[in-house]
A and B are shown apart, each in its own frame.
Chain A
Amino acid sequence: MIIRRKTKKLKILLISSILITTIMSCNNEKVIDAKDISVSGTMEAELTAPPNVPKPIGDRKAKKLLVNMEILEQEGTMTDGTTYMYWTFGGTVPGSFIRTRIGDEVEFTLSNHPDNKLPHNIDLHAVTGPGGGATSSFVAPGHEKTFSFKTLNPGLYVYHCATAPVGMHIANGMYGLILVEPEGGLPKVDKEYYIMQGDFYTKGVNGEPGLQAFDMKKAVDENADYVVFNGKVGALTGDNAITANVGETVRLYVGNGGPNLTSSFHVIGEIFDNVHIEGGSLLNKNVQTTSIPAGGAAIVDFKVDVPGTLILVDHAIFRAFNKGALGMLKVKGNEEKQLYSGVMQEGIYNPEGATLQEMPDDGKETVVVQTGEKSLAEKIASGKSLYNKTCFACHQANGEGIPNAFPPLANSDYLNADVKRAISIIVNGKSGEIEVNGKTYNSVMTKQTLTDTEVADVLTYVYNTWGNNKTNVKVSTVQEVKSQH
């Protein structure tokens, strides 16, 4: 025990010296042992739901910080039409962001909602102590536990539930981030966001509708159905995208809850100016992709120089395009033609959604047995869900497309002119020049492996939305087009 304590002291000394050489070298402040930082006053911690983070600590003195966190087991949306029973810290996945500074004395109260079925606890990687607090915070439903710790090491740390079976608690969403800022705080930036990757294992395959149960076998095999940012598909896309203006600096606090997969975190169209590797004090510069282990984190920052949509991905790329690990940072402002000419490439590296894709060909599909035709309303409802899974990444949420890259589906003369051509493009794919609403597009649309009914549904939705000609596309028409090849 004595030996252990000595090693701990040594570790703290070592960390202090690293502190001196790295973080503090710029402002030449005298560093004192974090254990000796005295606290003055008490304050309640601001907790935020992702993708937001609390206000920076700035030059605030160390305080006694009260953190109150509630555990909720609740059903939430995994993707359109699919729900999941999430176990959460504070009602969100990832859990609420906790922001502290070095030397704070955190008094942590963990409450387990009475409706919950299971006991839970919390292991904060920022804690120096047995189980990271897990031993002291093990709490039955309808009860609460309080423990306290002093933040001794600056950095970005994961917290998670560590109750048996640990893997299942994490797989159901019980993780989040706690930031310990160094003395004086991190350098100022214009925008800060909170992003956390996690892998999910469901009874049904990706996209299967309804409430999906946790699948233990798949979790053990590390065969994820969903790999997502912030707990669900689309948590950071479309209207939920994070934003910045040209010229601003953006800092992302990125964690990986796992339980299994390491993240190859990458922002398409951006280079990280600084990366706090593994969330620690070591800075790397000019990084394209940073590796974030399960149960680890990284702080990345960069300046956004040109307008457009930056795509956040796990660059283990099938996870991004087929399992959901995809987010967006929308940058507004004036074009900087010198920095970026504005011509977009073909659609190879653009999000395609979860549906399996194939390159265009003249494949001779066998005809599928005709099923009963659904009502218009049913087709539109189902089509909308399909659209949001399969089409929206390129054609965008309101069918507006992306200028010069992906043609619009809203008020589209090309679409309204010929239903069978539209069906053929979905079924067989399309490449080469086309003219839509007076503008020329030259892109690739991959062949979509949708069923005949799904093609009819999604097209009916598109035709009955955004000012198109309200065609009700029949399954038989889809089959007719297919059989023509």
Chain B
Amino acid sequence: MPIISRISFCILLLCTSYANCQPRMEEIKGGYYIPLYGRDSLKVQIPDFNMDVYPVTNQEFVLFTIQNPKWRRTNLIRLFADKSYLINWETDSTIGDKQSLKSPVTNISWFAANAYCECQGKRLPTVDEWEYVAMANQTQADARTISTFNEYILSWYEKPKTFNNEIGSTFKNYWNVYDLHGLVWEWTSDFNSVLISGESRKDVDNDSNLFCGSAAVGATDLMNYAAFMRYAIRGSLKAKFTLKNLGFRCVKNIENK
């Protein structure tokens, strides 16, 4: 077992070069905010960081698999992804005929997403970072109390097959970042740090986790419902899982500013 984990560690770190044309990133100005599970006393501090403007696309991931054969479907060690990894791709490095190169890459495991970002010299965002940027609508950094914004997010859950849409097809938010809502779910580095047991009513009483579900359950504002669903999907995941509706994007620390 220790050997296997050491090997896997090496694999994660070993990646050959990265794409020449780095995708555009936008600077996110950090700050304090109260996440869904938070209380007044539990504000989270977010430092400044850069975030990819779009989720990683099929095209970008095709390039990645060409440069890094071990992340091709046929080569992949089963430990790192379940059997639906890139399942809709035609071959190891060509997408399916119903897919678009400009669509977000999905059916990606956490391991694959994590490795991709590392190869770019980046990393996956934390849940807190992701949620912080995702609070914004077109004009405001925190639009969580605006009902139309929340209705927009909720309405996505009712639109089938949005994973086939192309990046940039939703709105540009306050931070000039696209597609946080309305395209696909996105991996975060610590997706399972906020635990939902799967029995949400139990979570209501469950103070041991960072989860104050009772506030959300009792709330009448729509924001909590939308966020609740994101935490629910994260809670249902394991790092090797791959989902048709789940992609990712990367972030990067800002150094020595």
A and B from one complex: yes
- A residues near B, CB below 8 A? 73-75, 85, 114-119, 121, 123, 130-131, 134-143, 162-166, 168, 211, 213-214, 216-217, 220
Given A139-B236, A140-B233, A164 contacting B228 (CB threshold 8 A)? yes
Least Cβ distance of A91 to chain B in Å? Answer: 14
Count residues on chain B whose CB falls below 8 Å from chain A CBs: 40
A117→B157 contact, CB < 8 A:
yes
Using Cβ atoms and an 8 Å threshold, which residues of chain A touch B76?
Answer: none
Using Cβ atoms and an 8 Å threshold, which residues of chain A touch B245?
Answer: 116-117, 141
**Bound-complex Cα distance A214 to B228 (A):** 16
Using Cβ atoms and an 8 Å threshold, which residues of chain A touch B233?
Answer: 117-119, 140
B235→A119 contact, CB < 8 A:
yes
The 29 sampled A-B contact pairs (Cβ below 8 Å) are: A74-B160, A117-B157, A117-B185, A117-B233, A118-B229, A119-B232, A121-B198, A130-B202, A131-B198, A135-B198, A138-B236, A140-B236, A140-B237, A141-B244, A141-B245, A142-B84, A142-B241, A142-B242, A143-B241, A163-B198, A163-B232, A164-B203, A164-B213, A165-B224, A165-B225, A213-B151, A213-B155, A217-B222, A220-B220
**Bound-complex Cα distance A446 to B198 (A):** 51
**A-contact bits for B126-145, CB 8 A (1 contact / 0 none):** 00000000000000000000
A sample of 11 more A-B contacts (CB under 8 A), given A85-B158, A165-B224, is: A115-B244, A117-B157, A138-B197, A142-B241, A142-B243, A162-B200, A164-B203, A165-B217, A216-B225, A217-B147, A217-B220
Given A117-B245, A142-B84, A137 contacting B198 (CB threshold 8 A)? yes
B199→A138 contact, CB < 8 A:
yes
Least Cβ distance of A94 to chain B in Å? Answer: 20
Task: Give A115's nearest chain B residue, CB to CB.
Answer: B244
Using Cβ atoms and an 8 Å threshold, which residues of chain B touch A162?
Answer: 199-201
**Bound-complex Cα distance A123 to B237 (A):** 20
Q: Counting CB contacts under 8 A, is B248 at the interface?
A: no
Q: Which 6 A-B pairs have the closest CB atoms?
A: A138-B198, A119-B236, A164-B200, A131-B199, A140-B236, A85-B158
- The winner among A117, A136, A143, A165 for most chain B CB atoms within 10 A is A117
Using Cβ atoms and an 8 Å threshold, which residues of chain A touch B237?
Answer: 140
B158→A135 contact, CB < 8 A:
no
Least Cβ distance of B84 to chain A in Å? Answer: 6
B197→A135 contact, CB < 8 A:
yes
**Bound-complex Cα distance A37 to B237 (A):** 37
| Contact residue among B216, B217, B232 (Cβ-Cβ distance under 8 Å from A118) | B232
**A-contact bits for B60-103, CB 8 A (1 contact / 0 none):** 00000000000000000000001010000000000000000000
**Bound-complex Cα distance A445 to B53 (A):** 62
**Bound-complex Cα distance A333 to B156 (A):** 51
**Bound-complex Cα distance A142 to B203 (A):** 24
**Bound-complex Cα distance A165 to B198 (A):** 11
Using Cβ atoms and an 8 Å threshold, which residues of chain A touch B119?
Answer: none
B199→A130 contact, CB < 8 A:
yes
**Bound-complex Cα distance A220 to B196 (A):** 23
**Bound-complex Cα distance A83 to B243 (A):** 27
A216→B199 contact, CB < 8 A:
no
Main SS of chain A's interface residues?
mixed
**Bound-complex Cα distance A74 to B84 (A):** 22
Q: Counting CB contacts under 8 A, is B231 at the interface?
A: yes
B161→A134 contact, CB < 8 A:
no
Task: Give B157's nearest chain A residue, CB to CB.
Answer: A117
B198→A140 contact, CB < 8 A:
no
Q: Counting CB contacts under 8 A, is B44 at the interface?
A: no
Using Cβ atoms and an 8 Å threshold, which residues of chain B touch A217?
Answer: 147, 220, 222
B225→A142 contact, CB < 8 A:
no
B199→A165 contact, CB < 8 A:
no
Least Cβ distance of B117 to chain A in Å? Answer: 21
Q: Counting CB contacts under 8 A, is B46 at the interface?
A: no
A138→B235 contact, CB < 8 A:
yes
Task: Give A116's nearest chain B residue, CB to CB.
Answer: B245
Using Cβ atoms and an 8 Å threshold, which residues of chain B touch A163?
Answer: 198, 200, 232
Task: Give A216's nearest chain B residue, CB to CB.
Answer: B222
Using Cβ atoms and an 8 Å threshold, which residues of chain A touch B157?
Answer: 85, 117-118
Task: Give A221's nearest chain B residue, CB to CB.
Answer: B220
B244→A114 contact, CB < 8 A:
yes
Least Cβ distance of B134 to chain A in Å? Answer: 16
Given A85-B158, A119-B233, A134 contacting B84 (CB threshold 8 A)? no
Least Cβ distance of B86 to chain A in Å? Answer: 13
Given A75-B160, A142-B84, A168-B225, A121 contacting B244 (CB threshold 8 A)? no
**Bound-complex Cα distance A268 to B88 (A):** 53
Least Cβ distance of B244 to chain A in Å? Answer: 5
Given A140-B237, A164-B228, A168-B225, A214 contacting B158 (CB threshold 8 A)? yes
**Bound-complex Cα distance A408 to B147 (A):** 49
Q: Counting CB contacts under 8 A, is B154 at the interface?
A: yes
Using Cβ atoms and an 8 Å threshold, which residues of chain A touch B228?
Answer: 164-165
Task: Give B237's nearest chain A residue, CB to CB.
Answer: A140
B201→A115 contact, CB < 8 A:
no
Task: Give B236's nearest chain A residue, CB to CB.
Answer: A119
Using Cβ atoms and an 8 Å threshold, which residues of chain A touch B244?
Answer: 114-115, 141-142
Given A114-B244, A119-B236, A141-B244, A135 contacting B199 (CB threshold 8 A)? yes
A121→B242 contact, CB < 8 A:
no
Using Cβ atoms and an 8 Å threshold, which residues of chain B touch A74?
Answer: 160
| Contact residue among B84, B220, B232, B243 (Cβ-Cβ distance under 8 Å from A164) | B232
Using Cβ atoms and an 8 Å threshold, which residues of chain A touch B199?
Answer: 121, 123, 130-131, 134-135, 138, 162
